Structure 1
Amino acid sequence: MRAILVGGGLALLISLLGTRVAIRRFTEWGYGQEIRDDGPTTHHTKRGTPTMGGVVIILATVLGYAGAKLLTGTMPTASALLLLFLFVGMGLVGFLDDFIKIYKQRNLGLRSKAKMVGQTVIAVTFGVLALSPAFEDDRGQTPASRHISFIRDFERWTLPVVVVLLLIWLVVTATSNAVNLADGLDGLATGASVMVFGAYMLVNIWQNNQWCGQSDITYGKCYEVRDPLDLAVIAAAITGACFGFLWWNASPAQIFMGDTGSLALGGALAGFAILSRTELLLVILGGLFVIETVSVMLQVTWFKATKKFTGTGRRIFRIAPIHHHFEMLGWEQVTVVIRFWIITGLCVAAGLGIFYAEWVSGT
């Protein structure tokens, strides 16, 4: 538990102070945000706001975790290293996207195909390593599972490795893009991420207490995972890093995380879901990100379908993702953000409630 407190606290401090330095440096270097022309006109005033703040979140997390390991005198586990690989790797893809936007002074960075290639390489590499026998512990447990999981593995079906890799790719790319879609208002994605990563910290603490015999309650055991305590340390570090960044990212934002931060955070969420055997539970815990993604999918699908059959494309929402729709209806940006945070809190509460209830019953 000391490692969790140190990791979270150190990441919070580094992010809080480091973001202020990043704002000053990025402003001097001209690393300003480009704004989409078809978005709400109120966003045009944000043009030039420093971006790529996700670099600070990534550095704060890694340094916070490293500090916790040094303090406790323990070595990083396989699960933790794989999660950090996914976190940093997706952040690098986002960094390239942000850098191209800044360098070419446009709102389009990496082409969609190029971005997907980068996400695919990172996701598949993560999946192969997470399923590798080389990373088995003394119980023969690999970081990732070959079963479909909700709040525990459905052990009736053992999936072929190729199918599992395809599912891992789907979870990683879908989640990273979902967080990227939600990062459209000051503090929205950052505040939502704080709650979801905080939830995964609790999930991994509960798993660690059960399997390490630290629980005095005679509950049914939680399903088995590798290295839950180390995953909890990283979850605490990311939560702390997001908290520190939110101080400067809250409306009116003095810095944006950019794709560097949103893709990294989305990749980390997917990593936690995969390594903690909660892939399907992520749909509930990250309900806000699901809503944002579905709104875009519905908008695009309905527009193409109506254009094909009527000749005129029609829209369900005034603009997608859905947080911009409410802006176009006249809601203040802060109102949209706070209400979407409330939705996230409800989703997290529901997900943790389901997980805890099953952990207690052991069914």
Structure 2
Amino acid sequence: MRAILFAGGLALLFSLLGTRVAITVLSRRGYGQEIRDDGPTTHHTKRGTPTMGGIVIIGASVVAYLLAKLITGQVPTASALLLLFLFVGLGAVGFLDDFIKIVKQRSLGLRSKAKMIGQTVIALVFGWLALSPLLEDERGETPASRHLSFIRDFDSWVVPTVLLLLFTWFLITGFSNAVNLTDGLDGLAAGACTMVFCAYTLVNIWQNNQSCTIQPGGACYEVRDPLDLAVVSAAIAGACFGFLWWNASPAQIFMGDTGSLALGGALAGLAILTRTELLLLVIGGLFVIETLSVMLQVGYFKATKGKRIFRMAPLHHHFEMLGWEQVTVVVRFWIITGLAVATGLGIFYAEWVAGVG
């Protein structure tokens, strides 16, 4: 538990102070955000705001995790290192995207195929390692399960490795892009991610306290390294919270694809490693809604040859176009995230209570 507190607190401090330094450095180098010409006109004033702030979130999280383990004298686990690999790897893909935008002075960075290739390579390497016998513990548990999971594994059938890798790829690329779509208003993605990673910290702590290695029984959790996953999750939550100080409206820096792809991938990685893949759809409900709004808009536009469901997608831009103030949209979407998190945690706890009963 001390490692969780150290990781969260240190990451918050590093992010809070490091983002201030990043704003200065990135501004001097002219690493400013390019804005879509077809977006809300109110966003044009943001052109030139420093971007790639996700570097600070990633750096603060990783350094805080390592320091927390050093301070407490604990050895990093395979599950935590895998999650950090996914986090940093997708952040590197996002960094390339952001850097190309800045160098070429355009709102589009990496070509969609190139970005997808990068996400796919990182996701498949993560999936393969998470299922590899090379990372089995003394009980024969791999970091990821060979079953699909909601709150715990569906034990009725073992999913073939190829299908599991495809599902892993789908979840990781889906959520990394979902957070990327959500990151369109000052503080929206950072605030939402703070809540969701805090929720997963609680899930991991509970899974550790009710682990089958500690309290065998019908309601125990067969999850590998839950307490160390809580340390990583707390570090990322703290880093997002510290970053929010500078990213809240009016934002002095954006996380860019560097941050959004990394954060979305880390959420998917946590869901896979904690055997809660389908529960993530509830806890991360805001990101699902934002993604569905884009899918519906594009599908309807093509089917009707030019008609739209929303004034603009993703959904947060629709409400902006209706005349809502940006801060109003952000706060209300944070409330939606809070409700989704509360619902997810409620379902998680209710399932455990039912199992004990």
| Normalised-by-shorter TM-score class | over 0.9
Q: Could you say if the C-alpha distance between residues 19 and 82 of structure 1 is closer, same or farther in structure 2, counting changes exceeding 3 Å?
A: same
Report the equivalent of 1:359: 352
Report the equivalent of 2:155: 155
CA distance in 1, matches of 2:321, 2:173: 29
Report the equivalent of 1:110: 110
Report the equivalent of 2:184: 184
CA distance in 2, matches of 1:240, 1:222: 28
Task: Tell me whether 1:250 sits opposite 2:243 in the alignment.
Answer: no
Report the equivalent of 2:325: 332
Report the equivalent of 1:310: none
> Among 236, 239, 242, which residue is 2:237 paired with?
239
> Among 303, 312, 316, which residue is 2:309 paired with?
316
- Give ranges in structure 2 of 5+ residues lacking alignment: none
**Partner secondary structure for residue 210 of structure 2:** helix
Report the equivalent of 2:196: 196
Report the equivalent of 1:95: 95
Q: How does 1:190-229 map to 2 (within 5 A)?
A: 190-211=190-211, 220-229=218-227
List per-residue Cα deviations over 1:211-237 (Å, max 9, x = no partner). Answer: 27778xx98533211000000000000
Q: What is the Cα deviation at residue 361 of structure 1? A: 2.4
List per-residue Cα deviations over 1:92-148 (Å, max 9, x = no partner). Answer: 000000000000010010000000000000000000000000111111110011111
List per-residue Cα deviations over 1:311-339 (Å, max 9, x = no partner). Answer: xx100000000000000000000000000
Task: Tell me whether 1:274 sits opposite 2:272 in the alignment.
Answer: yes
Report the equivalent of 1:259: 257
TM-score by length of 2: 0.98
List per-residue Cα deviations over 1:58-93 (Å, max 9, x = no partner). Answer: 000001100110011111100000000000000000
**Partner secondary structure for residue 52 of structure 1:** coil
TM-score by length of 1: 0.96
Report the equivalent of 1:342: 335
**Partner secondary structure for residue 211 of structure 1:** coil
**Partner secondary structure for residue 56 of structure 1:** helix
**Partner secondary structure for residue 304 of structure 2:** helix
Task: Tell me whether 1:286 sits opposite 2:279 in the alignment.
Answer: no
Farther off after superposition, 206-215 or 321-330: 206-215
Q: Could you say if the C-alpha distance between residues 177 and 356 of structure 1 is closer, same or farther in structure 2, counting changes exceeding 3 Å?
A: same
Task: Tell whether the 8 Å contact from 2:212 to 2:222 is kept in structure 1 after alignment.
Answer: no
CA distance in 1, matches of 2:297, 2:355: 41
CA distance in 1, matches of 2:133, 2:184: 41
Q: Could you say if the C-alpha distance between residues 214 and 16 of structure 1 is closer, same or farther in structure 2, counting changes exceeding 3 Å?
A: farther
List per-residue Cα deviations over 1:143-186 (Å, max 9, x = no partner). Answer: 01111100110010101100000000000000000000000000
Residue type of the alignment partner of 1:262:
S
CA distance in 1, matches of 2:257, 2:151: 30
- Give ranges in structure 1 of 5+ residues lacking alignment: 308-312
Identity of counterpart residues, as a percentage? 78
The runs of at least 4 aligned residues of structure 1 exceeding 3 Å deviation read 212-215
CA distance in 2, matches of 1:212, 1:230: 16
Task: Tell whether the 8 Å contact from 1:219 to 1:360 is kept in structure 2 after alignment.
Answer: no
Task: Tell whether the 8 Å contact from 1:220 to 1:359 is kept in structure 2 after alignment.
Answer: no
